[in-house]
Amino acid sequence: MFALLGIAGILTGLAGSIWLVIAAVRATGVGEAAGLRRPVQTILGGAVLAMLALEAALLADDFSLEYVANHHARATPFPFNFATGWAALEGSIVLWGLILAVYTWVTFKSVSRTARNEGDRLGVAALAVMGLVAVFFFGLQATVANPFQVCVEAAANGCLDASPFPWAAAQAPPDGPGPNPLLQNHILMAIHPPMLYLGFIGLTVPFAYAISALAIKEAGVEWLRRSRRSTLVAWTFLTAGIVLGAWWAYEVLSWGGYWGWDPVENASLMPWLVATAFLHSALVQMRRGALQAWNFVLVIGAFSLTILGTFLTRSGVIGSVHSFTQSAIGPVLLGFLFLVVAGSFWLFSTRSHLVADSPRLDSLVSREGSFLLNNLLLTIFAFVVLTGTLYPLVIEAITGDRVSVGRPFFVRMIVPLAFALLLAMGVGPQTPWREADPGRVAASLRVPIQVALAAGVLTVLFASRIGYVVGAVVAGTFVIASGVSLLIGRASRAARARATGPSGSVGREIRRQLTAEPSFWAGQLSHAGVALVAIGIGFTANLAQHGEVAMEPGDHIEFAGYNLHYRSPFLLTEPNRRVQGATIEVSVDGEVVTELRPRANFYGGDTAGISTPAVHTAFTGDLYLTLLNIDATGILLRMDTSPGIWLLWVGGLIAAGGGAWSLTARRRALVTAGV
Amino acid sequence: MTFIKWLAGGMVVLSVALAIVFITRFGSDPAIVDSPLLGKPAPTITLPRLDGQGEVDLTAIEADVVVVNFFASWCLPCREEQPQLVAAANAFAGRGVRFVSIAYRNDPAEIAAFLEEYGNSPSTLYLTDPGGRAAIAYGVFGIPETFFIGTDGAVVRKIVGAADALILGSTIDAVLAGEEPGQVVVGETFTGPGG
Amino acid sequence: MSERTQRLWSWTVSGALAVFVLIAVLVAPDPSEDRARSLGERLRCPVCQGESIAESPSDAARDMMDLVRSRIAEGSTDQQIIDELVASFGATVLLDPPVSGSTLWLWLLPVAAAAVGVGLVLTRVRPSLVRETVAAPLRFRRSTVGGMVVLAAAAITVVVVGQFRQARVDDLEPIDPATISNETLEAVIAANSDDPQILGMRLGLANRYFEDGDYQRAFPHYEAVIEGNPTPVQAGAALTRLGWMVFDGNGEVDLAIDLMDQALEAVPADPFALYLKGRVIWCGRADAATAIDLFGQVLAGPDLEAEVRENVEADLSAARAGDTC
């Protein structure tokens, strides 16, 4: 039954997508959106039905579906059984389709509003593009990535063979192997993929508007303005998704790090970098009309990198801790990727005359100039990540040699870029548009520089004298101080202009500044978040301490200012796993601070456990304990510190928060502007 | 303006090239790597015998062909491979072929139980690998892996995954005949208990 | 204080702070570097996906870190340790690819891209003569053609260069049965002795031993064939040869004839069985008449190989002539 409903949903979505493309292409001449309501609703209805059918099948333990049989187990607790809906390849495409359908519907609402007044060729054509993307993703679900295949040959634990026809004679195995144990350890695993998808898929909207603008030959600022909200939404979710992914990796995987430069991690970082560049560069075009060609290239690049990322994750061409298993979906995704890249750039090249009269920049020393620098730095950053990720593949195809590209390469290339970016983040907002007087800019940076250097002095005196650490603190503080001093500076000047007296009014003036230009200050908040992340990375990468010790119950050890006392081992039996661990008492200066319980989880019949670390978070940093081994004789304990790592999570979420603030602000601005 | 056309053209060319690269990778397992030891002298390493009666220097074994197999009791394909290894060891005992089985990350008691249950050959040397040095020296990515050392002491063949008697035997024949070095992948390997 | 003095003072303070920080950083003692850890962070754990041996908690990684530490204690340089591990695992064990060989371009490409990017940016700002000069010869049509030429060249390059890559030896070559050695067959049979399908292989191996005259090795296999539920043809072949071996090896005539009769029951008028029976009777019982009769039946029967026909004819005429065998 679920198979039937699910396939009905997929086919409805596919039909709706095709309908949308046809209707939208037809309506592009006039720009009338009314006829697109039904197709968009059909897509949404189909996508919702498919998702609901899949989730219902999982929650009802319907093992006659091959997807459920191979990825779900009866013992899997809620919410992980729900999250299984997107944990494996086919389910993840269903989620993709649903989110795409929602974005299409939201885009339609905005297009129909505009179209009612004066016709909206741009918006209608954009919907056509979104329809094409939807055709692809629903097409995937209907063919190579069908989650509603019926199991026709059951094994004791899973399904051996499946048929795509929902009326096939189904055999339901009694139980399934369940999701990968790593995906059941932490609630973040349920949240991280949907967040990322909301980010990736959101980039479809500005891409659609860009292609639409090129296709109907209306390249101007309109496509940027119309897609701004979606870009911000996508960027916010993508930022949050990446930060949450790093946080999850840190909390769950026991290697003590948060970013492994794994190909699939890189695949999420690249679109983020290019989307960030696009977000900034678009401002230049909206304000001054310049950088038109850049914006097209950036948005096509961001979307293409999203598809590349999807391809790398699902095709199995690169080994990764993240990858789904290889399947026939690889070649299909590759074909789509090629179409997107080649097609978009070909279209762009044939319409290049549209951007030919893009105004030149008057000077590089200006806000535009710093945005251009930003574009350059972020693009090179993305290029470095792309090169590092794909290089082993390319070299192997050409010479047959096997090489690895890991952290040392990325770090060496990116650290100088990162410092340059932080510098630009601090200087840029203080630089006026058009042409700036370097002397005045320097004057406005005087105080931030001093504050930054003072922070550097404090670091040198109390924290560390390692160059990277001090540099990160100075650069990060510079960014934050620059933003704060800008705010205070403007507020106090405005207060003086109003001649209303002492500092109480500066506070009110600050509030007025924030509400008058919310998107600008939201951006500054995001910058501050990024600065905090940079400082956090500087600390954790350079000041972490490590140790390994064998302990028997009752042993004590001193580590990084903590006294660790191994009290006893423990054993727990949970419905889906067996847990063996150690209870360790942590004290500082004789006072017990906490009790940490690192453990090894044994799922199913596994004889080797998956270890989960125990983390104690403090202001100065985390204490991170992992069990390397536990048996009758004692434990082998690994100890790490992560100084200042909370800065990463807090900073990352602040950066995303800036994006969210910008979104709320825009609605108010739109409302007050009477639009 | 024409710069954009160059850029666009360049992007298309790049995507074609990358597409070709990706296509060559479809279907092959990114995890399998060719051993750099093929054609090179076998690593010199001395390991203790499982029965505790001394140590064995792998390069000092007197035989025309030495077959070095890495296994463990927790490795599921190794259970299927063991009878095949025993049969091959017995069959080739008279031909100057010596089998060496090295237990990778295994408790001696568990190894003994494994050999009890799945068979063992009187002519095979059973060794343990404390500290995993032999596994590192041989560049073992997972088990089971089997290396074939020829008369000149060079690693001539490598089999990745659980081999059967036919493949073992024909590989030994090839080594005895002095054929070219090569590597064959016949199955999946495990890296630790639980896969 | 005037604006200018204030500014000067402010910059002096900044300058002093900067100098302080810089000096503090530069004269800082080198942090007690864990050399093993730094080296470990550049080496990939072969059983993990991209983690370094310093970070990974897996056993294999810790064994390798152990090796690194002991080599450091023995006095090896970093490069020697790296070379040792590369000799075992291949270049793939290096997370920090060398700036040479296959990975030279890895390091050059981003730098080249940055240079190109900066160059482009500079040209976008100045409506310079340089740009005009470069742009002029590149007309639309030429660039399309140029683009297609580049496309074709790229495709050809990739294909041609691809031919030079090392052939992967993953594929199992089909094994020619004739080249399989006796030992290999013994091994396969021993490993699959429960499998009823293995009888065919046993028979084949036994026949090889029989033809080589190695009766001792052939015997147990023929026995196993007969006891293992053979097809009539298999039984016939085994019994015939068993019979001959019993006669030729042990001199037992009656048993041999009995076995051959059993073979003829399984496959009536089997020429080989008839022939060998004839020989046994002629040589063992000195009964030339019966032998001649049997030989005649063989020659009268279905086609024989030329060599076998020659032997039978030779024996027939010898028997007729009254020779002993």
Q: Distance between CA A183 and CA A79 in Å, rounded?
A: 11
pLDDT at C171 > cutoff 50: no
pLDDT at C32 > cutoff 80: no
A325-366 pLDDT tens trace? 556 788 889 889 999 999 999 999 888 888 877 777 777 778
**Contact yes or no for A607 and B74 at CB 8 A:** yes
For residue C140, what pLDDT band results from cuts at 50, 70 and 90? very low
pLDDT at C130 > cutoff 50: no
- In this prediction, residues A599-625 reach a mean pLDDT of 84
Q: Is B76 in CB contact (< 8 Å) with chain A?
A: no
B38-76 pLDDT tens trace? 999 999 999 999 988 899 998 899 899 999 999 998 888
Closest CA of chain B from A308, distance in Å: 11
In a domain, B92, yes or no: yes
- Nearest Cα neighbor of B70 from B26, B111, B117 is B111
**B15 and B90 within one domain:** no
For residue C163, what pLDDT band results from cuts at 50, 70 and 90? very low
**B3 and B37 within one domain:** no
Q: Is B123 in CB contact (< 8 Å) with chain C?
A: no
In a domain, B65, yes or no: yes
Name beta bridge partners: B46. B57
Could you list the beta-strand ranges (E) of A352-453: none
**B72 and B13 within one domain:** no
pLDDT at A506 > cutoff 60: yes
- In this prediction, residues A160-168 reach a mean pLDDT of 80
Q: Poorest-confidence range of A157-161, A604-608, A657-661?
A: A604-608
Between helices A188-202 and A292-315, what is the axis angle to 10°?
A: 140
Q: Distance between CA A54 and CA A62 in Å, rounded?
A: 10
3-state helix/strand/coil string of A19-82:
HHHHHHHHHCCCCCCHHHHHHHHHHHHHHHHHHHHHHHHHHCCCCCEHHHHHHCCCCCCCCHHH
Identify from C74, C183, C201, C214 which residue to disrupt to test chain B contact, counting B C-beta atoms within 10 A and taking the largest count.
Answer: C183
Q: Quick one: tokens of C228?
A: 């293992």
**B74 and B26 within one domain:** no
Q: Quick one: tokens of B139?
A: 């560049």
Of the candidate CATH numbers 3.40.50.880, 3.30.465.10, 1.10.8.640, 3.30.565.10, the domain formed by C35-93 belongs to: 1.10.8.640
By CB atoms closer than 10 A (0-12, 13-18, 19+), residue C221 is buried
List of chains touching B (3+ CB pairs within 8 A):
A, C
The residue type at B104: Y
Provide the whole-model pTM: 0.85
The residue type at A384: V
A372-414 pLDDT tens trace? 889 999 999 999 999 999 998 888 888 878 888 999 999 999 9
- Give the pLDDT confidence score for residue A178 in this predicted structure: 80
- In this prediction, residues B116-138 reach a mean pLDDT of 92
pLDDT at A214 > cutoff 90: yes
| Contact by Cβ (8 Å): A597, A572 | no
pLDDT at C141 > cutoff 60: no
Q: Quick one: tokens of A593?
A: 């601070």
In a domain, B119, yes or no: yes
**B35 and B21 within one domain:** no
- Return the residue matching tokens 């003590």: A256
Structure letter (DSSP) for residue C165: S
pLDDT at C157 > cutoff 80: no
In a domain, B190, yes or no: no
Domain of B101, in residue numbers: 31-185
Identify from B3, B4, B38, B191 which residue to disrupt to test chain A contact, counting A C-beta atoms within 10 A and taking the largest count.
Answer: B4
pLDDT at C156 > cutoff 60: no
- In this prediction, residues A141-146 reach a mean pLDDT of 90
Look at chain B and report how many structural domains it folds into.
2
pLDDT at C155 > cutoff 60: no
- Return the residue matching tokens 């399989």: C180
C299-311 pLDDT tens trace? 888 777 788 888 8
- Give the pLDDT confidence score for residue C242 in this predicted structure: 92
What CATH number does residue B134 fall under? Answer: 3.40.30.10
| Contact by Cβ (8 Å): A369, A431 | yes
**Contact yes or no for B34 and A397 at CB 8 A:** no
- Give the pLDDT confidence score for residue C160 in this predicted structure: 47
Q: Is C78 in CB contact (< 8 Å) with chain A?
A: no
**B81 and B11 within one domain:** no
The three-state secondary structure class of B105 is: coil
- Give the pLDDT confidence score for residue A513 in this predicted structure: 83
The residue type at A104: T
**B49 and B24 within one domain:** no
| Cβ atoms < 10 Å from Cβ of A157 | 16
Residues of chain C positioned with their CB less than 8 A from the CB of B173: 179-181, 183-184
Q: Distance between CA A610 and CA A577 in Å, rounded?
A: 11
- Give the pLDDT confidence score for residue C166 in this predicted structure: 32
Residues of chain A positioned with their CB less than 8 A from the CB of C127: 360
Residue A199 host element (H or E): helix A188-202
The residues spanned by each domain of chain C are 35-93, 101-171, 178-280
- Give the pLDDT confidence score for residue A670 in this predicted structure: 45
Average pLDDT, chain A: 88
**Contact yes or no for A372 and C106 at CB 8 A:** no
B145-195 pLDDT tens trace? 999 999 889 999 999 999 989 899 999 998 998 888 888 888 877 776 654
| Contact by Cβ (8 Å): A305, A278 | no
Q: Is A628 in CB contact (< 8 Å) with chain B?
A: no
For residue A673, what pLDDT band results from cuts at 50, 70 and 90? very low
pLDDT at C85 > cutoff 90: yes
- Give the pLDDT confidence score for residue C129 in this predicted structure: 42
A355-367 pLDDT tens trace? 877 777 777 778 8
pLDDT at A423 > cutoff 90: yes
By CB atoms closer than 10 A (0-12, 13-18, 19+), residue A196 is buried
- Backbone torsions φ then ψ of A74, nearest 5 degrees: -60, -35
Q: Poorest-confidence range of A385-389, B51-55, C23-27, C88-92?
A: C23-27
In a domain, B195, yes or no: no
The residues spanned by each domain of chain A are 1-184, 188-355+368-387, 415-543+648-672, 546-645
Q: Is C90 in CB contact (< 8 Å) with chain A?
A: yes
Q: What contacts A124, CB < 8 A, 6 or more positions away? A: A24, A27, A28, A31, A32, A33, A36, A111, A115
Q: Quick one: tokens of A130?
A: 């979104």
- Nearest Cα neighbor of B103 from B126, B78, B120, B123 is B126
pLDDT at A300 > cutoff 90: yes
Q: Poorest-confidence range of A500-504, A565-569, B105-109?
A: A500-504
What ipTM is given for this predicted complex? 0.85
Residues of chain C positioned with their CB less than 8 A from the CB of A319: 49
Q: Is B13 in CB contact (< 8 Å) with chain C?
A: yes
pLDDT at C128 > cutoff 80: no
In a domain, B124, yes or no: yes
**B71 and B21 within one domain:** no
CATH class entry, domain C178-280? mainly alpha
